[in-house]
Every structure is written in C-alpha cells, then in structure tokens.
Amino acid sequence: MTDMRIAAFQRRPRFGDIAGTADRLAADLAWCDGEGATLALFPECYLQGYVLDRPAIGRVALALEEDEVLDGLLARLKPVRATFILGLIERHGRFLFNTAAVIRSGRILGAYRKINLHPKEKSFDAGHESPVFEVGDWRFGVNICYDGFFPEAAATLSSKGARLLCYPVNNMMPPDAAARWRPKTVDILRSRAAETGCWLASSDVVGEHETMVCHGFTCIVNPAGDVVARVAEESEGVAMFDLG
C-alpha cells in the first residue's frame, strides 16, 4: 500500500462569511497541492460557521445538489488535486444536517451526516449512514466531533475496511467547559485510534467567538494511539504526516 500524505487544518472560525472561508479554503488547498498532500481535512461546519438554533441553521444551510453557492465553490476548486473533507451545514428537503462532504476535482464524492448529535444540537437532524471512501488504495471514513465519544461509531468504519478515521471537530465552548475538556479531548481520539488499529486525523477550530473559546485539538494519531503530529494550541496551523 502506498503512503498517503494527509494535511489537517486548524483555523479560526468565520460565521456567515462563505466568501471569506472560500478564499481561505482555496489558499489552503493550493498549499496542499504544492506540498503533495493527498487528503486535506477541515473543521466541523467550517464553511458557514457552527450555529445551533434552527432558524439560523436554516438560513445558512446549503443543498449538496443544485445549489448556486456550493456549485460556484466546487467550480472554483475543481483544479485542486487533493481530495478534501469539508464540514458544512446541509439542507436536504426539510432536513438540516451537520455534514462532512468528501470532494475531489470539483465533485462531491459523497458525504457523512453526523449520527451522534450532542444534546445542544437538537435543531439538527441526525444522519443514519456511515459511508467509507477511497483515495488511492486507502479507505477512510468520517466521524464528526461528538461521534468520538462513541467507540461503536469508529468500529463501524473499521469494520467496513477503513484504515483512516477523519474527525472534523469544533470544540468551541464556554471557558469553564473548555478548561475541563482541554486535557481529555486528544485522549478520546487516541483511544479511538488504538481500539480500531486505524490512523486518525482531527481538524479543529481555534480562538474566541463572543463568549466561547476553543484551544484547538488538531492532530494526527497512529494506530497505536500515539500523536505523531499536532498543531500548537491557541494557534492556526496545519498538521501534516505521511501515513504508511
């Protein structure tokens, strides 16, 4: 099996600024192509910003098919060689999903809709399927943030042949909760890697927004559960590693 170079980005969140996020995304993906990255990972709800009340979710949600805004973004990013995983808020009929889309050559190959919703995410609808995807001869699957608390979510992907687990996350929370979870978050990801024997990559936001804060937990973990690359807390950056 050939090596795969993965790049996991830690970025400050933008809210309601799809154009600004698209500019940053295009620059980051151009950098990935220059560095020879095969797969790039971006945070949970990265495209529109992570919002929780149903009206706000509905205002920013995009359909994966025949959506003028998303189609324009895909056309712009068609020259990108790297496959990438983009967190976004999806509208599908009357349903609103916390989704991670897998994109290559300006085309959405498929998507994962978050199954295990946090209690604060009652305004989202839950997904029901755990697809796996391929890049080269690597098979990977996606879990989103709170899914990481459920070992069976990772085990399902591993049982389908995934050798890499990708976690778009958004750990923006009140300061007291952020402090409480600060020493635990990466340990949870390490456990999912060790339990399944899979590589694992996470991509988180960082910084402050209104009364919320995120320290940033972007990392790459090997199948033994060891962190082999990580972006420094409180900083934007990218964790990159060659998976073999």
- The model's pLDDT over 115-126, given as tens digits with 9 standing for 90+, comes to 999 999 999 999
d(CA 244, CA 241): 9
Structure confidence by residue, pLDDT tens digits, 21-34: 999 999 999 999 99
Bridge partners of residue 41, in order along the sequence: 8, 85
Please identify every stretch of the chain with a pLDDT value under 70, giving residue numbers as ranges.
1
pTM comes to: 0.97
Encode burial over 214-235: b for 16+ CB neighbours within 10 A, e otherwise: bbbbbbbbbeebebebbbeeee
Encode burial over 6-42: b for 16+ CB neighbours within 10 A, e otherwise: bbbbbbebbeeebeebbebbeebbebbeeeebbbbbb
CA distances from 22 to 26, 75, 100, 169, 184 (A): 6, 12, 16, 19, 32
Find the length of the chain: 244
Picking from 135, 134, 113, the residue whose alpha carbon sits closest to that of residue 124 is 113
For residue 20, the model assigns a pLDDT of: 97
CA dihedral 154, 225, 32, 50 (to 10 degrees): 50
Domains and their CATH numbers in the chain: 4-243 (3.60.110.10)
- Phi, psi (deg, nearest 5) at residue 2: -75, 155
